Amino acid sequence: MAEHLKFERYFWFDNQIRNSRFPNASSMARHFEICSRTAHRTIEFMRDRLGAPLEYDPQKKGYFYTDQSFDLPFCQVSQNELLAILLARNLLSGSAGGVISRAIRSFGRKLLAATGEFGLDQKRIDSAFSAIWHGYTPAEGEIFRLVAEALIQCRQLTFHYFSPAENRTTLRLVEPVHLQHYMGSWVLLALCTERRDWRKFYLGRMCQVRLTDISFTPAPVSFWQNHLDGAFGIFQGGDPQEVALRFTPYRARWLRREIWHPKQILEEQPDGSLILRFVVTDFREVKLRILQYGADVEVLAPEALREEVRKEIERMVKLYAGE
pLDDT digits (tens, 9 = 90+) for 83-141: 666 666 666 666 666 666 666 666 655 555 544 444 555 666 667 777 777 777 888 88
Find the DSSP H helices in the chain.
2-18, 25-32, 36-48, 79-91, 99-112, 122-128, 141-153, 221-224, 249-255, 284-291, 303-320
DSSP state for residue 177 in the 8-state scheme = E
pLDDT tens, residue by residue, 185-205: 889 999 999 988 999 999 999
Q: Is residue 27 part of a domain?
A: yes
pLDDT averaged over the chain? 85
Q: Which domain holds residue 207?
A: 141-227
Would residue 172 count as lying in a domain?
yes
Q: Burial code of 287-305, b = ≥16 C-beta within 10 A, e = fewer?
A: beebeeeeebbbbeeeeeb
Phi, psi of 174 (to 5 degrees): -135, 165
58 falls within a domain: yes
- Predicted confidence at residue 92, as pLDDT, reads 66
Q: Smallest Cα–Cα separation from 240: which of 291, 287, 297, 283? A: 283
Q: Report the number of distinct structural domains present in the chain.
A: 4
* 118 occurs within a structural domain: yes
What number is the average pLDDT over the span 299-306? 96
Q: What is the pLDDT of residue 115?
A: 43
Q: What is the CATH number of the domain that holds 9?
A: 1.10.10
310 and 258: one domain? yes
What digits encode the pLDDT tens for the residues 227-270?
887 777 777 767 889 999 999 999 999 999 999 988 999 999 99
CA of residue 225 relative to chain centroid, distance: 18
pLDDT(75) > 80: no
- The predicted pLDDT at position 70 comes to 85
Concatenate the DSSP letters of all residues of 4-70 into one string: HHHHHHHHHHHHHHHTT----HHHHHHHHT--HHHHHHHHHHHHHTS---EEEETTTTEEEES-TT-
pLDDT at 79 over 60: no
Q: Cis before residue 270, ω within 30 degrees of 0?
A: no
Distance CA 148, CA 246 (A): 42
Nearest to 216 by CA among 151, 144, 294, 161: 151
- pLDDT band for position 49 (cuts 50, 70, 90): confident
98 or 55, higher pLDDT: 55
User: Would 133 be classed as within a structural domain?
Assistant: no
Please identify, among 178, 196, 227, the residue that sits at the C-terminal boundary of a domain. 227
Q: Write the CATH number for 172.
A: 2.30.30
Whether residues 254 and 194 share a domain: the answer is: no
Give strand pairing partners of 57.
62
Dihedral Cα 228, 230, 233, 239, nearest 10 deg: -100
Residue 295 lies in a domain: yes
227, 251, 275 — which closes off a domain?
227
Is pLDDT larger for residue 295 or for residue 88? 295
Are residues 251 and 292 located together in one domain of the fold?
Answer: yes
Shared domain check, 163 and 93: no
In a domain, 72, yes or no: no
Last residue of a domain, one of 200, 227, 254: 227
Is 296 a residue whose pLDDT tops 80? Answer: yes
Q: Which amino acid is at 211?
A: L
Residue-wise pLDDT for 129-176, tens only, equals 777 777 778 888 889 889 999 999 999 999 999 999 899 999 999 999
| pLDDT confidence of residue 288 | 92
| Span 36-56, average pLDDT | 91
Asked if residue 111 and residue 83 are part of one domain, the reply reads: yes
Q: Which pLDDT score is estimated for 117?
A: 47
Does residue 236 lie within any of the structural domains?
no
Q: Do 153 and 212 fall into the same domain? A: yes
